[in-house]
Amino acid sequence: MKKLVILFTILCSSFILTAQSGIKGKVTDEKLEGLINANIRVMKKGVLVKGVVTDFDGNYTVQIDSGTYNIEVSYVGYKTETKSNVVVKKNIITFLDFKLVEGGVTLESVMIREYKNPVFSKANISGARTVTNEEIAKMPTRNVNAISNAASGINNGDANIKGSRSNATQYFMDGIRVTNNMPNTESYASIKENRFVNSNSEQLSTFSLDVDRAAYSNVRRFINLGELPPTDAIRIEEMINYFSYKYAAPKNDDILNVQTSVVDCPWNKNHQLLHIGVQSKKIDSKDLPSSNLVFLIDVSGSMESPNKLPLVIQSFKILLDQLRPEDKVAIVTYAGNAGVALPSTFASNKTKILECLDQLQSGGSTAGAQGIITAYEIAEKNFIKEGNNRVVLATDGDFNVGVSDNKSLEKLIEEKRQSGVFLSVLGFGYGNYKDDKLQLLADKGNGNHAYIDDLQEAQKVFAKEFGGTIYTLAKDVKFQIEFNPSVVSNYRLIGYENRMLEKEDFNNDKIDAGELGMGHQMTAIYEIVLNEKGNKSVLNNVDELKYQPNVVKNSNQYSNELGTIKFRYKKPDSNISAKWDKVIDNKINNKVSEDVKFSIAVAYSGLLLRKSEYLVNGSFDNMIALANESKGNDGDGYKAEFIRLMELAKNLKPKEVATKE
């Protein structure tokens, strides 16, 4: 009876093995010797379906569903070979061998500095081993996974025992379980705080509009993980602009409304704050232009984790729900290469678009520049005159194949923006998140930048703020404030450090600036010193100018004006700008609105997190009290969340990561 049971089990197992669909074969060189660890990439409609490597003898097996695929094989020092239209039938293994020819990328030399035998004995198969700090110091690695590779029975740090999932090995250091051993390679552009400017020396302050919100959701991610964000991740203007304020809507045909107020500064009793609130025009959805969108999706190996590609797919489904039947969507993916996963398709064919999104899988390197080029080609091919033409990029920014340095990417994206196609840049994930690269792409590509850390943020970006994210109302928007030196002795703009412009740039239509979306809001806050309260020993550390009057001519004529705010913009399809200006009254507001106070509280928090040298009497407790008294009607709960985050932040220590000058 036992023999019959065993025989039956073997027969069932054999049936299961033969019933699987897939591809099997061997990769050899020209001498028919097997190549170890050759890369096998299975592609379907330009999308990576599965990737494997060959074993010690050059053999490989890929289990995939029936269908037609392109199989790409690559190996260092050999030319990549591709076999197209390989048909895999249901419950049948297709045999496919590859013979690679020498060529392609060659490694010139490898120098071994030190060799160390494994610190673990092959005889030790107990499953547990203590590694001393002396042993770790001698090992040619600093990666926890790599240390585990030296253990008996562990291959590439991928333990899979009795059906356990991959990477199920547990690590303990100083008695604490290590749950995330991936090295942190995040990078941020360096930020140097704006300094105080003497208005007698320079009356004009010029900067580009910035309505991005990425920094706040990224800061939130750090704090929720129990860490303070690195200083250069804290862009105060994006923290302020994350929240919604009840700014007055534009009147008549104006594209935006600007409101100003002067209030006391909560962190320095001798200073005031000039608060500038901007509200752009809202347009009814039925009057929106038709959209030609290209979803550009990073499907490289670094996008595998749940907060990356799976969240990207969910986010684009939310965006798809906002589109009208006449809008069009194409999908371009990139890993080692770029491909068109879905040609331009009407949003009315929602099922087809969803099927394409659901088939996306991650694997391979990251040829981001190639993906950008392909996406813009598709957008230009389907360009809608007077329509909304946009590439929506979703990535962690970790480009590592082809054009990947920031200067080359800047040149590439500046060329592409001439096409009239706009750009939305969405950052995902952490550990290898390249914020500096994504900021550059958004800034130089007539675009906006958001960081999506969870599905709720995706809902905010693609549903609640859909018009601002996807539709451009004006481009190259610049602001210039002319301060009246008879009223203001010194001023400094809080935030916008990477958006500052030369004063001559304001009237130069060739200079790129920010993009304004429909319904967008923007807040700018200046810390100012009025003449009667100026502290010359602190702020005016240069001699008074001999050949220039220190007061405005006919100063009495303008004594009721603190300054003048001007802004310049272009329509989305124009290269000629229009100009608008408004006088700022010289009047301190004693009755301050909740919106103004809350935005100041957020700016205050940014200064605290950055440990700003301009905080005289700043404290988390005072900032939190200001936020609490001004949160008002907080229907979506974002303001309450901010207060909770700041309560956590005041007891955390900073974490440093790489910055880019």
| Res. 552: pLDDT tops 80 | no
Q: Which residues of 488-514 are buried (b: 16+ CB within 10 A; e: fewer)?
A: bbbbbbbbbbbbebeeebbeeeebbbb
Residue 162 has pLDDT above 50, yes or no: no
3-class state of residue 466 by DSSP: helix
List the domain boundaries for the chain: 18-99, 117-181, 200-283+474-542+559-649, 291-470
Residues with Cβ within 8 Å of 44's Cβ and at least 6 positions away in sequence, in order, are 67, 68, 69, 70, 359
Would you state the pLDDT for residue 543? 67
Kindly report which listed range (149-153, 249-253, 302-306, 424-428) carries the lowest average pLDDT score. Answer: 149-153
CA 199 to each of CA 255, 491, 493, 593: distance values in angstroms, whole numbers, following the listed order = 30, 7, 13, 28
User: Closest Cα to residue 618, out of 268, 270, 274?
Assistant: 268
Question: In this structure, what DSSP letter does residue 45 have?
Answer: T
| pLDDT per residue as tens digits for the range 273-331 | 999 999 999 888 788 899 999 999 999 988 988 899 999 999 999 999 999 999 999 99
Residues 498, 442 contacting (CB under 8 angstroms): no
Length of the chain: 661
Q: Which range has the worst mean pLDDT, 82-96, 219-233, 643-657?
A: 643-657
- Report which of 364, 361, 450, 436 is spatially closest to residue 397, judged by C-alpha positions: 436
DSSP class of residue 102 equals B
Grade residue 167 by pLDDT with cuts at 50, 70 and 90. Answer: very low
pLDDT at 402 over 80: no
Whether residue 373 has pLDDT greater than 70: yes
Whether pLDDT at 26 is above 50: yes
pLDDT tier for residue 120 given thresholds of 50, 70 and 90? very low
Confidence band of 20 (pLDDT split at 50, 70, 90): low
Sequence-ordered alpha helix ranges (H) in 211-349: 214-224, 236-241, 309-322
Asked if the 18-99 domain carries CATH number 3.10.180.10, the reply is no
| Residue 350 or residue 636, greater confidence | 350
| CA dist., res. 216 & res. 601, Å (int) | 14
The closest of 299, 223, 208 to 506, measured between CA atoms, is 208
N-term to C-term CA, the chain: 76
Nearest to 114 by CA among 141, 133, 132: 141
Q: What is the pLDDT of residue 372?
A: 92
Percent of the chain having pLDDT more than 90?
54
In the predicted structure, residue 166 carries a pLDDT above the cut 80? no
For domain 291-470, the CATH class is: alpha beta
Q: What is the pLDDT of residue 173?
A: 47
Please state the rounded mean pLDDT for residues 111-131.
47
pLDDT value at residue 151: 45
Instruction: Specify the pLDDT at position 77.
Output: 80
Q: Judge whether residue 240 has pLDDT over 80.
A: yes
Nearest of 525, 579, 636 to residue 262 by alpha carbon: 525
CATH of domain 200-283+474-542+559-649: 2.60.40.1230
Lookup: tokens for 131: 């590694």
When pLDDT is averaged across residues 27-40 and rounded to a whole number, the result is: 87
Give whichever of 15-19, 273-277, 296-300, 531-535 has the largest mean pLDDT: 273-277
Which candidate, 659, 648, 658, places its Cα nearest to that of 219?
A: 648
Question: Per-residue pLDDT averaged across 179-194, rounded?
Answer: 79
pLDDT of residue 488: 96
Per-residue pLDDT at 124 exceeds 80: no
Q: Could you tell me the two tokens for 609?
A: 């997190």
**What's residue 135's pLDDT?**
54
pLDDT digits (tens, 9 = 90+) for 587-609: 999 899 999 999 999 999 999 99
Task: Give 178's pLDDT tier (boundaries 50, 70, 90).
Answer: very low
Tell which residue, 127, 131, 160, has the closest CA to residue 144: 131
In which band, very low, low, confident or very high, does the pLDDT at 158 lie, cut at 50, 70 and 90? very low
Backbone region of residue 466 per phi and psi (left: phi > 0; alpha: psi in -120 to 50; beta: other values): alpha
pLDDT the model gives residue 286 = 81
Query: Is residue 206 predicted with pLDDT exceeding 80?
Result: yes
Helices first, then strands: H and E counts in the chain: 16, 28
**In 218-327, at which residue ranges do the beta strands (DSSP E only) sit?**
256-264, 272-280, 291-298
The average confidence (pLDDT) of the chain is 83
| Burial environment of residue 80 by CB neighbours within 10 A (0 to 12, 13 to 18, 19 or more) | middle
Average pLDDT of 80-91? 89
Closest CA to 53 of 85, 84, 76, 77: 76
The listed range with the strongest mean pLDDT (61-65, 135-139, 160-164) is 61-65
CA distances from 424 to 242, 331, 427, 439, 515 (A): 16, 14, 10, 11, 10
3-class DSSP assignment, residue 74:
strand
The pLDDT value recorded for residue 369 is 84
Q: What is the pLDDT of residue 154?
A: 40
Confidence at residue 549, expressed as pLDDT on a 0 to 100 scale: 56
Rounded to an integer, the average pLDDT of 423-437 is 91
Burial classification of residue 193, based on how many CB atoms lie within 10 Å of its CB (0-12 exposed, 13-18 middle, 19 or more buried): middle
**What was the pLDDT predicted at 133?**
52
Percentage, residues of the chain above pLDDT 70: 79
Please give, one letter per residue, the 3-state secondary structure of 482-519: EECCCCEEEEEEECCHHHECCHHHHHCCCCCCEEEECC
Residue 423, pLDDT above cutoff 70: yes
Comparison of pLDDT for 160 and 336, the residue scoring more:
336
Average pLDDT over residues 63-79: 87
pLDDT value of residue 317: 96
The helix-helix angle for 638-649 and 214-224 (nearest 10°) equals 50
548, pLDDT greater than 50: yes
Angle between helices 594-610 and 620-630 (to 10 degrees): 160
Closest CA to 244 of 537, 651, 637: 637
pTM: 0.72
The DSSP code sequence of 532-545 is GG--HHHH--SPPP
Please check whether residue 457 is in contact with residue 531, taking contact to mean a CB–CB distance below 8 angstroms.
no
What is the reported pLDDT for 656?
A: 54
CB 560 within 8 A of CB 262: no
Give the integer Cα–Cα distance in Å for 386 and 149: 58
Report the range of poorest mean pLDDT among 6-15, 152-161, 198-207: 152-161
Domains 200-283+474-542+559-649 and 291-470 share a fold: no
